[in-house]
Amino acid sequence: MSGREEAIQRLKIAEGHLRGVQRMLEEGAYCIDIIRQIQAVQASLNKVSIQLLDHHLNSCVITAIRGEDPNERERVLKEISSVFEASSRL
């Protein structure tokens, strides 16, 4: 299974968990159980994010760093910084 296929599969699993959270809320499930399911969805999304970041670092970023264009190198490094800045605000 390719990295893209694995990411799609993980997202489908997270989608199913999210539907489960909605159902739990509709049925009046115990709050802590709902929170645990939300945490499972978040963990699943984090895994996909890490997988995508790893792929990006090992493909796009390496290509830009090895390339001749200093502007492209700077651009991809700024992208990485902005992703980490955005995640720290969550």
CATH number of the CATH domain containing 56: 1.20.58.1000
Please give the full DSSP string across 14-74, using - where no structure is assigned. HHHHHHHHHHHHHTT--HHHHHHHHHHHHHHHHHHHHHHHHHHIIIIIHHHHHSS-HHHHH
Domain total of the chain: 1
Nearest to residue 80, comparing CAs of 68, 90, 64? 64
> Is the whole model's pTM more than 0.75, yes or no?
yes
- For 13-23, write each residue's pLDDT tens digit: 999 999 999 99
pLDDT at 28: 97
- For 28-73, write each residue's pLDDT tens digit: 999 999 999 999 999 999 999 999 999 999 998 999 989 999 999 9
- Give the residue numbers spanning the domain of 68: 3-88
